[in-house]
Amino acid sequence: MMTHLSPIKRQILVALRDHEGHLTLDALVEHVGEGRFHVRGELSDLCRPRWGPLVRERWIRRVLQYELTPAGEAASWHGVLDFGPEHE
């Protein structure tokens, strides 16, 4: 089953990909241009196993930061996820 990412999820993945590293929630809010709670909710979805996960949360120097997983990087280029036949 092919699933297209919402525009905001795609923006989050592209921002993480383009910054080649870790971004904090505040930096993502600034890059995406959406509200803090909206971005946090989308990040929660992207961190769930159902989505791959596409994004990983990490504590670096006592600051929560986000980074792409390999699946997240692939999705950032294509904007489509293939969950396979078991999800249909």
Tell whether omega for the bond before 7 is within 30 degrees of 0, i.e. cis: no
Where do the structural domains in the chain lie, given as residue ranges? 10-76
Domain covering 10-76 assigned CATH 1.10.1740.10 in the classification: no
What pLDDT does residue 88 have? 45
67/58 Cα distance (integer angstroms): 8
- Give the chain's residues under pLDDT 50: 1-2, 83-84, 86-88
| Residue 72 burial (C-beta neighbours within 10 Å; 0-12, 13-18, 19+) | buried
What pLDDT does residue 87 have? 43
Residue 6 corresponds to which amino acid?
Answer: S
Q: To 10 degrees, the CA torsion angle through 6, 17, 72, 48?
A: -70
What pLDDT does residue 80 have? 57
Residue 65 corresponds to which amino acid?
Answer: Q
